[in-house]
Amino acid sequence: MVRLVDLPAYEREHLLSKNEPPLGPPVWQSLDKEVSALRVALITTAGLHFRDDPAFEFADSTFRPISNNEDSNNLVMSHSSVNFDKSGFAEDVNLVFPIDRFRELETDSKIGSLAEVHYSFMGAGLNPSAYEATASQVAGLLKQDKVDAVFLTPV
């Protein structure tokens, strides 16, 4: 692991600017359904989108919808961190966005269903507070889609 003192000053300052107080104790929600009945959505911070969608900018708090009906092989990554190795994604999108594995879980009735739309954010560039508005918007969209649970893949 790299120590802060070994980083260039600009990178050290960037990381230290994200040193915020803890969010507090986690708020856990009890399940009132079996996992095999849950409607599940995937959310990633890998900066994924389809080729025709706008690429993510470095400091970008927006999101990209990922339709459940699209071929996952058509996803591209515009994650801009030089510290992130994209070679695994290039081999298999499921390493950062396990949509095909979740489709198998749905087929095998291990989960109830998949959301119509999943969501991708661009992580690593901004403080968490910058995502409040778009995260609230996505939460509303997930509610409209009657999603019970979200599987998050932070990158």
How confident is the model over 60-71, as pLDDT tens digits?
A: 999 999 999 999
CA distance 115 to 48: 17
Distances (CA, A) of 42 to 10, 23, 24, 46: 33, 22, 24, 12
Q: Is residue 89 scored above 70 in pLDDT?
A: yes
Which pLDDT score, from 0 to 100, does residue 1 have? 66
User: Domain boundaries in the chain?
Assistant: 36-153
Strands 39-44 and 117-121 come out as parallel
With contact defined as beta carbons under 8 Å apart, do 119 and 138 qualify?
A: yes
- Please tell me the predicted confidence (pLDDT) of residue 148: 96
Is 96 within 8 Å of 152 (Cβ atoms)? Answer: no
Confidence label for 18 from pLDDT (cuts 50, 70 and 90) = confident
pTM over 0.95, yes/no: no
- Residue 2 pLDDT greater than 80, yes or no: no
Q: Which residue has the higher pLDDT, 151 or 8?
A: 151
Residue 114 pLDDT? 98
The b/e string for 131-147 (b: 16+ C-beta within 10 A; e otherwise) is beeebeebeebbeebeb
CA dist., res. 125 & res. 115, Å (int): 27
